[in-house]
Amino acid sequence: MPPLNFWSIYQHGFARVAACTGHTVIADPHANAEAVLRHARRCDEEGVAVAVFAEMGLCGYSIEDLLLQDVLLDQVEEALQDVVTGSADLLPVLVVGAPLRHRNRIYNCAVLVHRGRVLGVVPKSYPRTTASSTSAVRSPTARTSAAVPSGSAGRRSPSAWTCCSRRRTSRRSCCTRRSARTCGCRCRPARRRPSRARRSSSTSPAARSPSAAPRTANSCAARRPAACLAAYVYAAAGLGESTTDLSWDGQAMIYENGALLAETERFPLGDEYAVADVDLDLLRQERQRMGTFDDNRRTHRARTADFRTVSFELAPPLTDLGLRRRLERFPFVPADAERLAQDCYEAYNIQVEGLQQRLAAIGGPKVVIGVSGGLDSTHALIVAARAMDRAGRPRSDILAWTLPGFATSDHTKDNAHALMRAIGVTAAELDITPTARLMLKEMNHPFASGERSTTSPSRTSKQACAPTTCSASPTSTTASSSAPATSPSWRSAGPRTASATR
């Protein structure tokens, strides 16, 4: 095993993928094969592991009955052989769309090619039946035979229905199954779809979908990887494709677990490709956490046991390729402002509802809360105020204390008092400095005798002198007596008082 290079994406569980689109020359497979290799060489220079091309990209998606012409189909097989030969010295696994003949039928296929070898051929499982679909190309209604033509003379490749591939790299955790499918987005007969459980158990973490369907692409590409915990690479047909009724937008996009990593503009004038680094370790770990994947494997073992593994050596560069994905400044909250606002709304109202229910369950006592003027105590005070509003109780039932100590500045203390006045709670101040000094003296702390210490007396004293926490939640609570009240007006608060602190 080579030494770990910290700057290598492939040694950190990432894989660089690309979705490629460009000008398709209708019914000219050799020209389209050269375009595929042009993209492939560019992807090779950037360290791409998988490059996906549009459905039927070797001949064009919109040629309709020309797909039945032997001359065209012969040229498709020759062009596919050109792609296989031209890939011999290139890194990426190429996923190329082509119509291929087998026995008495023509199949709409995705062909996986790597370093001069056809890894597998995957026919479209569920053909579209709309006017925009290519009616001349059929899909199997039952399992195909053990092999289908690959386009190279005398060579046969693993079957459409039972093929997946696995790349081997220098890190065992990066060994990831990969499958491909030609896709008609959501325009498939629902009665012919396999169950969600079956699709979830058989979809690989890195699914590639060359497709020519235009407008439903974004919604489908976002939903599918989120449902299957997968990466989704989408390449649409584009420039050069049209009929009397339709045209294609040539958009490419890459999703990971429902999140958009990269996309290109629609209706480009030339070659375009979207490139992103997919976190395979993340997807693998998410699937381990989602136990239903293994449940589905056991439930559908009769089907999944038929899948065969075709191994190949990717041998990616272990040098610094940079990182082609966005890193959020705040990774634990959404970057989208609208979604962030929705999450904040949910979290805030859950806390309010939980506190309101807990107070009602324990007899509706007043609430004691420590207010420092910082973020945490401010949020807790706002939640308590809203809970009182919802319960129809005055905010004066919130007994708010600020406890200045050694490190409390006038600015911080003024903020705490201004907050309490603005919300309208019953406010009081208790200087904990004398209590803290006595505590430190009883502890024989060096600070009590005037010595310098690495331990902050402010932090130690505040932790010891802060009121006991009362956690109000729908499921559990820890209640205790609050600090002794010194304000005479609070002595009539009642026998029970719920306390909280920052």
Active-site residue list: 55, 124, 185
Of residues 347, 351, 344, 349, the one with CA closest to residue 472: 351
- Helices vs strands, H then E, count in the chain: 12, 21
> Facing residues of 255 across strands?
232, 260
Please check whether residue 63 is in contact with residue 107, taking contact to mean a CB–CB distance below 8 angstroms: no
Q: Which helix (H) or strand (E) holds 97?
A: strand 93-102
Query: How far is the CA of 87 from the CAs of 23, 39, 41, 449, in angstroms?
Result: 20, 11, 9, 79
* Number of residues written out for the chain: 502
CB 437 within 8 A of CB 415: no
| 234 close to 253: Cβ distance less than 8 angstroms | yes
Identify each DSSP E strand in 163-210 by its residue range.
163-168, 177-180, 206-210
Rg for the chain (alpha carbons), in Å?
32
What kind and span of H or E run contains 33?
A: helix 29-45
Cβ atoms < 10 Å from Cβ of 450: 6
SS3 at position 223: helix
Phi/psi of residue 164, nearest 5 degrees: -140, 160
**Rounded Cα–Cα distance for residues 231 and 278 (Å):** 7
Tokens of 410: 């006038």
CA distance 352 to 356: 6
Cβ density class 239-262: b for 16+ within 10 Å, e for less: bbbeeeeeebbbbbbbbbbbebbb
371-374-379 Cα angle (round to 5): 75
Structure tokens at 58: 């070797």
Rounded to 5 degrees, φ, ψ at 246 are -135, 160
Close Cβ partners of 497 (under 8 Å, ≥ 6 residues apart): 365, 366, 367, 368, 399, 481, 482
